[in-house]
Amino acid sequence: MKHTIVVTTDEETHWYILTYRNNAIHDLIKECGGRHLQFDTRNPGWRSELFRKTEEVLIGNMYEDGVDGSSVDLVRDDNEEEDSDLRECTETGCDGRETLLKAPMEKLRKSFHMWFQSQASREREDEIRIVLLGKTGVGKSSTGNTILGRKVLKSDISETSITKVCHRETAEINSRHITVIDTPGLFDTDLSNEEIQREISNCISMILPGPHVFIIVLNLGQRFTQEEKTAVKIIQETFGENSLKYTMVLFTRGDDLNDKTIEQYLGNPGSALKQLIGVCENRYHVFNNKETRDRTQVTDLLQKIDNMVKTNGGSYYSCKMFREMERENKNNRRTY
């Protein structure tokens, strides 16, 4: 019952609880740690109180279970943002009833989803959490399958994205827990900013307490396009300037190199590819997804990620960093 809040929905019940202490409802509330709230759609204050009590329960249980602090911060920041949205809704005169009825349930769903994700990821000191980014058709899903050592992510040759939403898969590799998030073609020009933001937010919530690495996937068999040239800008605008500390480039179709080395393919200093690699602090890797049984390419990739994490002082891109960037972007949109 440590995860439970009792909500009563009519004034008579509320009066009954306050007047008669010795009754079944009062006993239930006592068993739930005294957590009780009167549901009242006429008073927006009940919603903030529900968030406060929910935060109290979630954070209390997180600390008790030894969950990473950034996950706790994400729940707290989310509640503060929801309260801000309610105040804005009240000021602009939007449909208060719909907001009051629907938003709390969605907030509870998101909060408990975060808690269960944090429970699943705790006590995994050797875990590596990977997010694959890139436009449609570069081989993100195939790359994820190669890393995981089995075909669990949908992949095919297609002009349109096979992956429509973020997808999460895990595997044990060399006694280490590896989590991979496959994303839709977030660099595709046909996606709206709202669609991109929604899927990125979903992506972060699926990989609590945060990814160790963002991998920009490029296809050696395709021309380096304008969308990919702006990939760094998109990542910085979405995740913040510091996100490049946690970013590397992975080239698929390594068999297309033939007798060339990857360094020869990258071209002369100053080329667009060289510039991309440079801002990622020269972190790159090559995969041949046709040779899925060649596990050395996976082992080498994980070693490069480990080196990057070590350079970053053992840190990862935390949910708190993302929430701060999301709030900054939201404030900028309000300004304009």
Inside any domain, residue 110: no
Q: Which two tokens stand for residue 251?
A: 């080239």
Q: Which two tokens stand for residue 190?
A: 């046909």
Per-residue pLDDT of the chain (336 residues; tens, 9 = 90+): 667 878 777 665 555 555 655 567 777 877 877 777 777 666 666 666 776 777 677 666 654 544 555 555 555 555 555 555 545 544 444 544 444 445 555 555 555 555 555 554 454 668 999 999 988 888 999 999 999 999 998 765 544 445 567 899 999 998 899 999 998 877 666 667 677 777 787 888 888 889 999 999 999 878 777 767 777 787 888 888 889 999 999 999 888 888 888 888 887 777 888 888 999 999 999 999 888 888 999 999 999 999 999 999 999 998 888 888 888 877 877 765
Inside any domain, residue 13: yes
pLDDT, position 103:
54
Between CA 146 and CA 288 the distance in angstroms is 9
Please tell me whether residues 264 and 130 are part of one structural domain.
yes
| CATH number of residue 305's parent domain | 3.40.50.300
Please tell me whether residues 52 and 129 are part of one structural domain.
no
Between CA 179 and CA 304 the distance in angstroms is 16
Distances from the Cα of 80 to the Cαs of 49, 126, 251, 284, 323, in angstroms?
12, 32, 40, 38, 11
Domain count, the chain: 2
pLDDT, position 66:
47
Domain that holds residue 37: 6-58
Inside any domain, residue 132: yes
Please tell me whether residues 131 and 270 are part of one structural domain.
yes
Characterize the bridge pairing of strands 176-182 and 167-173: antiparallel
pLDDT, position 97:
45
